[in-house]
Structure 1
């Protein structure tokens, strides 16, 4: 396959290849949209938004996720049609590997697709398939035919909105499509407080609000839907499992599988814990880690100049953004990963001695 990479230094949606992609989608017999393992609001929001765009074009489309996502995202229009690899691995893999046009949203390497990785690689190797990556993470692998990558953008939903504009489909922007885009926009920009927010982010929000979508309801469904056990888990994590290293301006929270089971933790219950650690006065780097199906999953956050993306890539098999990243350590114990983190923290201390 001929590889084409469009750099974030230019308008990635201005090229002829993007216009040709619309024609290709219109004529395709099978179009499939995928996203990364443990889908978040931006992953599922961008995927369902793209599905709504294709529906407006009269193009059937399957959305296939590696695994389930948090219940607080189930309100999104189109959720009931999503297929999951962990629930039907053979059928899901067949859809992805045989797609005439395969979209890979919010991830920049096949390894991020979890159980769908092999199927994505098969599609990449299939001369009859066209693979399109749309993503905002740094340092993408060169795996797709069309790579629409812009790491300066705060969310993949913003890139889908730019695709809608490039395809001159503003007329398709109804409240359902807008609701999906708004979900990814607010979750990946921290409700517009992260440094990745640009004037165009607010311009997009204005256009979405003009459709009549209920932004207040969406925010409530995402951020005000805590179960009692989730609140109790948060209280336990902050009161019993939070380690603060004020001399190094770091904080770490860790939760074992037994602790998660004790509070009947569900997908999404620990989201935001790392941000609570970062919100402590004087803290510039925060980490949250938990045991998760034979691996230790890690979320990293920072404020200012310290790059958690570099930390994730160098030490925890991960990646992401400058101030928000993650990783996973397969086959390691929580104790081992936590000890490694604590041992590394003093080596970063000099780089963390600053005020915003």
Structure 2
């Protein structure tokens, strides 16, 4: 097994070499999350020599593969395809692979017809990833987040002569890659890819196709610029993307205004029959079984945004959407203000994410069991949810 010495081009400086020292310091001060957030604002992660060196290295790589996380969303596929367009502009051929399929409302993106899926051709795709000279891991910060691709990612990390690059905006990354471009203060990985474009002095190569992919991740992971993670640079990026002539109105419509009748009926059923509200705890839950999803012929993406409908209820500061899948129970968690759903996901539901938006998954447990656990936990968080955002 190859020993990794990752270059942590990251504000929080969590390399494999100094992780123990940093962890000890954080235990001493007792504010792990606060220290990480403070360090996150200390420097521009892309203003480093290692980032410039990557551009030279990628040009000489024989096999370049771009990956993202399981159940890819708009930011995952948008950042991956945008990077593919960037590499193509440099004359570098690359392959985008995903652990599994993504929602139909993302099928419009330029280049999406070239994406390969691990669940459709596991052996061939695993080999591509494991044998890559340069592997990009986008929008996830641990091999376990890559689903069926996780083992192949680990093999790539162990391969002599390979370079594994992580680009991600989630908190507490595992030091698994050679170069880790991590900035949890940024609202989307597409914003990080745009900053990579700038760092490589490639803004002149930004075209409508690349811009469309970047815009998809930008609006989906920032809630169309509603979330607190939005920065002035987010709008500056949007301005540059619009200047390419991309049709932002069409993109927004393709993502948010393409609902099938059965999807609308499923949403109506979920809100009218499956919504549980706990006003005294300022919390709400929506849950759907596999049978209920099948009853409405649910497809990938059909339940996108349901958790936000629960959070939109007046007085609610925490919301969970929990659904049964074939092999596990999945959940999306959202909050307003100071309550951290990332901590909830990490502590209780094998998950992670951001302060106000996180997810989790439970294997070997029934939907009802997970819902019952959530209902039992909510009163224990009640004191921390009694605020007006």
| C-alpha RMSD of matched pairs (Å) | 0.5
Q: CA deviation at 1:172?
A: 1.0
- For 1:49-92, what per-residue CA distance to the aligned partner results, in whole angstroms no more than 9, with x for missing partners? 00000000000000000000000000000000000000000010
Give the counterpart of 1:113 among 138, 146, 149.
146
Aligned counterpart, 1:68? 101
Aligned counterpart, 2:369? 336
1:137 equivalenced with 2:170 (yes/no): yes
Aligned counterpart, 2:355? 322
Aligned counterpart, 2:5? 2
1:57 equivalenced with 2:90 (yes/no): yes
Give the counterpart of 1:93 among 106, 123, 126.
126
Q: CA deviation at 1:10?
A: 1.5
Aligned counterpart, 1:11? 44
Q: CA deviation at 1:311?
A: 0.3
1:284 equivalenced with 2:348 (yes/no): no
CA distance in structure 1 between the partners assigned to 2:273 and 2:326 by the alignment? 23
Aligned counterpart, 1:157? 190
- For 1:205-237, what per-residue CA distance to the aligned partner results, in whole angstroms no more than 9, with x for missing partners? 000000000000000000000000000000000
CA distance in structure 2 between the partners assigned to 1:172 and 1:156 by the alignment? 19
CA distance in structure 1 between the partners assigned to 2:323 and 2:232 by the alignment? 36
Q: Normalized against structure 2, the TM-score is what?
A: 0.91
User: Which SS does the other structure have where 1:251 is aligned?
Assistant: strand
Q: CA deviation at 1:4?
A: 1.3
Unmatched runs of 5 consecutive residues or more in structure 1: none
User: Which SS does the other structure have where 2:219 is aligned?
Assistant: helix
Q: CA deviation at 1:293?
A: 1.9
Q: CA deviation at 1:128?
A: 1.6
Give the counterpart of 1:224 among 250, 257, 281.
257
CA distance in structure 2 between the partners assigned to 1:291 and 1:172 by the alignment? 44
1:264 equivalenced with 2:297 (yes/no): yes
- For 1:89-136, what per-residue CA distance to the aligned partner results, in whole angstroms no more than 9, with x for missing partners? 001000000000000000000000000000000001112210000000
CA distance in structure 1 between the partners assigned to 2:364 and 2:255 by the alignment? 32
* Residue correspondence of structure 1 range 201-240 to structure 2 within 5 A: 201-240=234-273
Unmatched runs of 5 consecutive residues or more in structure 2: 12-39
User: Which SS does the other structure have where 1:50 is aligned?
Assistant: helix
1:146 equivalenced with 2:179 (yes/no): yes
Task: List, as ranges, runs of 4+ consecutive aligned residues in structure 1 with deviation greater than 2 Å.
Answer: none
* Residue correspondence of structure 1 range 36-51 to structure 2 within 5 A: 36-51=69-84
CA distance in structure 1 between the partners assigned to 2:142 and 2:51 by the alignment? 21
User: Which SS does the other structure have where 2:281 is aligned?
Assistant: coil
Aligned counterpart, 1:169? 202
CA distance in structure 1 between the partners assigned to 2:326 and 2:300 by the alignment? 12
Q: Normalized against structure 1, the TM-score is what?
A: 1.00
Q: How many residues align?
A: 356
User: Which SS does the other structure have where 2:332 is aligned?
Assistant: strand
- For 1:167-212, what per-residue CA distance to the aligned partner results, in whole angstroms no more than 9, with x for missing partners? 0001110000000000000000000000000000000000000000
1:345 equivalenced with 2:378 (yes/no): yes
CA distance in structure 1 between the partners assigned to 2:64 and 2:158 by the alignment? 17
CA distance in structure 1 between the partners assigned to 2:86 and 2:220 by the alignment? 21
